[in-house]
Amino acid sequence: MPKQELYFDNNATTQMDKSVLNAMLPYFTESYANATSNHLFGLSVGEAVDESRENIATFIGAQPKEIIFTSGATESINLAIKGLQHYSKKHIITVTTEHKAVLDTCSFMEHCGFDVTYLPLNKEGLLDLNLLKATIRKDTLLVCVMLANNETGVINPIREISKLARKNNILVMTDATQAIGKLAVDVSDLGIDLMPLSAHKFYGPKGIGALYVSAAAKIKLDSQIHGGGQERKIRSGTLNVPGIIGLGKACEIVSAEMDTNTKQITILRNHLEKELLKIEGTFVNGSIKNRLCNTTNICFPGVNSEKMKLALQNISVSSGSACSAVTTEPSHVLKAIGLSDAEALSSIRFSLSKFTTADEIELVIQKVTQVVAELRQKNN
């Protein structure tokens, strides 16, 4: 009989909530019309899309017209940043620990004539606001800082960053992919102009996401996908109706469950972390105070994380971003907050979900403790 799968890689993707799946199913087989068709069948499906858009907007404190549907956070990030190429200001400020989707897109913008400043962070993974202030120039167009880091879970002071940006007439984009569903996010309160999100990070389907575009900021984005202009003439392509319905339902569910989930997950994460830190030499990477409730990134000195993942067998954990998992290079995030190559290559991220149980936590504690001891013994 196969061993029970113990899934502790929820920052990479989450298990879909069955209620989300049930909400989506009719739009594969019964309500299958194109949402932009102008016959009654299409109009009825279009109404369901509109309802989902409203649910998403309400969830993040936005207006429905400010929600652009995309294939996911990576596309949303590309649209948000590349879509600003026509602006006369040509300076972007971001940080070294951003997701590769932001860093690679910023690199592309450098080839298009933009100047990009990559700010360092302190050992807790937090941005020095005085450094940001000193970096702002007259031609600074955009500040890109993620709301919560995908590897360490560290939460950035977006509200303070936005206040500083607004004083200087600078746009703010925050990648909220990891934060949505774990933190209460209100775009108006945080002062955000552009915000990508992705359904599969909070119990929704893969292949669907959205980009919030502030109406108040009067942002004009250049299209990256041309065609029918289905999404406010900014993003073309036949709408992924089942995915959109799933995204809306996922927002509805996590909104109702967030307080309960946060308390439950925090208790489990703290117990897991407390027990694993009993292993000699271990330490947490990044801020312990300012982070997501579900994430702990722990360094196990003297143990190679790739060998550890193989030895853990049925326990799924991560040694970096899922989007960078094809490489064996040390995490750019952990390197950026001061870890050595050896320390970064000895670190494991454990990320929990609402489906994680206390029994699973105990099994992981037992197995990780055993594996670390065995691997260290082999190295001696």
Partners of residue 349 on adjacent β-strands: 297, 318
Which DSSP symbol is given to 318? B
118 neighbors 127 (Cβ within 8 angstroms): no
Which residues contact residue 130 at a Cβ distance below 8 angstroms, ignoring those fewer than 6 apart?
none
Task: Tell me the Cα Rg of the chain.
Answer: 21
Q: Look at strands 6-7 and 91-95 and give their pairing.
A: unpaired
The string over 309-341, giving b where at least 16 C-beta atoms fall within 10 Å of a residue's C-beta and e elsewhere, is bebbeebbbbbbbeebeeeeebbbbbbbbebee
Asked if 311 and 375 count as a contact pair (C-beta separation under 8 A), the reply is yes
Task: Name 104's Cβ contacts closer than 8 Å, sequence gap at least 6.
Answer: none
Question: Can you read off the two tokens belonging to residue 317?
Answer: 């954990």
6-7 and 115-119 beta bridge pairing: unpaired
Name the token pair of 200.
């599969």
d(CA 68, CA 73): 11
To the query of whether residue 144 is one of the catalytic residues in this protein, the response is no
* Residue 271 structure tokens: 């117990």
Catalytic residue among 106, 144, 293, 323: 323
**Strands lying side by side in the sheet with 67-70:** 67-70, 209-213, 194-198, 171-173, 140-144, 91-95, 115-119
Classified as helix, coil or strand, 284 is strand
Q: How many CB atoms lie within 10 A of CB 268?
A: 18
3-state secondary structure 104-123: HHHHHHHHCCCEEEEECCCC
Q: Which of 285, 284, 266, 286 is nearest to 276 (CA)?
A: 284
301 DSSP assignment: T
* Residues catalogued as catalytic: 323
